[in-house]
A and B are shown apart, each in its own frame.
Chain A
Amino acid sequence: MTITHHLTDQILLAHAGGALSEAFGLVVAAHLSMCDDCRARLGAFEAVGGAILETCGTVPVDDGGLAATFARIDAADRRTAPAPRRARGPLPGPIADYIGGGLDDVRWKPAGMGVRQAVLCTAEGATARLLHIPAGVAVPDHGHRGLEMTLVLRGAFRDEGMRFGPGDVEIADAATEHTPVAEHGADCICLAATDAPLRFNAFLPRIAQSFLRI
């Protein structure tokens, strides 16, 4: 897999600091599972966090803090540690966790004109969903008031003259006017996260437009 569209420094710094909502965090975690370069970049930002931890000063802890911590350790030692989370199939592990399996287990719902969607999580005003876009069809025109991140899982789409294939992530803000169109030949499956609940609107004219272009 050759990934050409990566996470931005803004997104990685926000994730390193713990500022991303669950939906955007899911897109980041899925991309990191596919991209060691971004994993290393995140590691570099986390090293900044480590340096800040060393230099942000000290606040005395309770006198009994160490003993209380040993008590916690001894209590928990009797429980078993969780197994490492590894890839179980072709989907990135974090997405498989949400679906509870593979793409065959997704409960798709129609979003119009052959496009299907499945909402995975909504928290803190941001939503992550899977989109299944038939080959050659445009992603429905949709409102997003803020950030939008789209990670390709299968197939590919084209947008603004660029190609986004598996592992690639497109990052757009509210000012971005874009019309991703699934490539011919294969359906495109994406994970998309948006700041506001995604509202599909007026997609009929947009899809008609894309058909005219074809």
Chain B
Amino acid sequence: MMMFLASNSAFSDACIRPVAYVFSAPAKIRVQEGLGVVEDAASDDWTRALLRVRDGRDREAFARLFRHFAPRIKAFLRRGGMGDAQAEDCVQDVMATLWHKAHLYDPTRATVATWVFTIARNRRIDMLRRVRPEPEDLPWGPEPEPDQADALALRQEAERLGVAIAQLPDAQRSLIERAFFGDVSHSEIAAETGLPLGTIKSRIRLALERLRQRLS
């Protein structure tokens, strides 16, 4: 089954190209039914809030993260078919995990939203009594802080990616969303996704190289 119709391969070298469409995009994405607007300015706030949780066990910062992410996690889980009570339980578990694992968050490799997504996805898999093997951890090296410029560059790439996803044709975006809601099997996913992932992949690759250098 061919899920995704666009023909560009996300990871060929040729695809690490200028993302010109980003700059021609309207300042605010048109809100469609069921879709919110990616909050451009907020991404930095969430990073700072999470670092306050990490460094100061800051409950007010956590409460702000909760108010933003908890209703989104719940929507994400409900769209994947989870019942209301189970989704509520799962949301609390995901947010508690965010608190406990805040020291593992690396803002040069993932935005807070991406990190929250991976925690929610893993918890959903747990609740289905399935097992997800994880690769070896790549924890922090001797330097305690990630590079601020790298973290900013990653957030900007993530924002551009969000704009690009919002601009995909409805049918294609819907199929990609279903893949993340846990609604498709691996055999239903086609080779070409049409997602412009080359630049964000390069950013994460750079962060991994720096981490390896610090570890060695």
Q: How far is the CB of A17 from chain B (nearest CB, A)?
A: 4
How many residues of A are counted as interface, with CB atoms below 8 angstroms from the partner's CB atoms?
70
A48 contact set on B, CB distance < 8 A: 161, 165, 176, 180, 195, 197
Does B27 sit within 8 A of A, measured CB to CB?
no
**Cα-based distance from A148 to B130 in the complex (angstroms):** 20
Interface membership of B133, Cβ < 8 A? yes
List, in ascending order, chain B residues with CB within 8 A of A66's CB.
63, 66-67, 70
Which residues of chain A are near B111, meaning CB under 8 Å? 47, 50
Task: Report Cα–Cα, A56/B162, bound state, in Å.
Answer: 12
Contact of A55 (CB < 8 Å), options: B99, B162, B185 = B162
Inter-chain contact A19/B113, CB cutoff 8 Å: no
B74 x A72 contact (CB < 8 A): no
Tell me which residues across on chain B come within 8 A of A81, comparing CB atoms. Answer: 100-101
Q: Which residues of A contact B63 (CB under 8 A)?
A: 66
Given known A-B contacts A20-B186, A66-B63, A47 and B133 have beta carbons under 8 A apart: no
Interface centre among B75, B135, B193 (most CB of A within 10 A): B135
Chain A residues numbered 1-49 whose CB sits less than 8 Å from any CB in chain B: 8-11, 13-14, 16-22, 24-26, 28-30, 32-33, 36-37, 39-41, 43-49
Residue B54 CB within 8 A of the other chain: no
Among candidates A50, A56, A84, A98, residue contacting B110 with C-beta atoms closer than 8 Å: A50
Is A180 close to B, CB under 8 A?
Answer: no
Q: Nearest Cβ in chain A — how far from B216, in angstroms?
A: 13
With beta carbons under 8 angstroms apart, the residue of A33, A45, A92, A93 that contacts B197 is: A45
A202 on the B face (CB < 8 A)? no
A40 and B208 contacting across the interface, CB-CB below 8 Å: yes
Q: Which B residues touch A13, using CB under 8 A? A: 179, 189, 193
B212 contacts across to A, CB distance below 8 A: 36
Nearest A residue to B109 by beta-carbon distance?
A: A43
The answer to whether B136 and A19 have CB atoms under 8 Å apart is: no
User: What is the CB-to-nearest-CB distance from A201 to chain B, in angstroms, rounded to a whole number?
Assistant: 23
**Interface residue? B125 (CB, 8 A):** yes
Q: Which residue of A lies closest to B199 (CB)?
A: A44
CB neighbours (8 Å) of B69 from chain A are: 53
Given contacts A10-B190, A55-B35, contact A17 B180 (CB under 8 A): yes
Task: Decide: A147 near B197, CB < 8 A? Known: A22-B130, A54-B72.
Answer: no
- Counting from the closest, the 3 A-B pairs by CB-CB distance are A50-B114, A58-B71, A14-B186
10 pairs across A/B with beta carbons < 8 Å? Answer: A11-B186, A16-B180, A18-B132, A29-B133, A36-B209, A52-B180, A53-B69, A54-B36, A56-B36, A69-B95
Given contacts A9-B11, A43-B114, 11 further A-B contacts (CB under 8 A): A17-B180, A40-B208, A47-B111, A47-B158, A50-B114, A56-B76, A66-B70, A70-B62, A73-B100, A76-B96, A147-B187
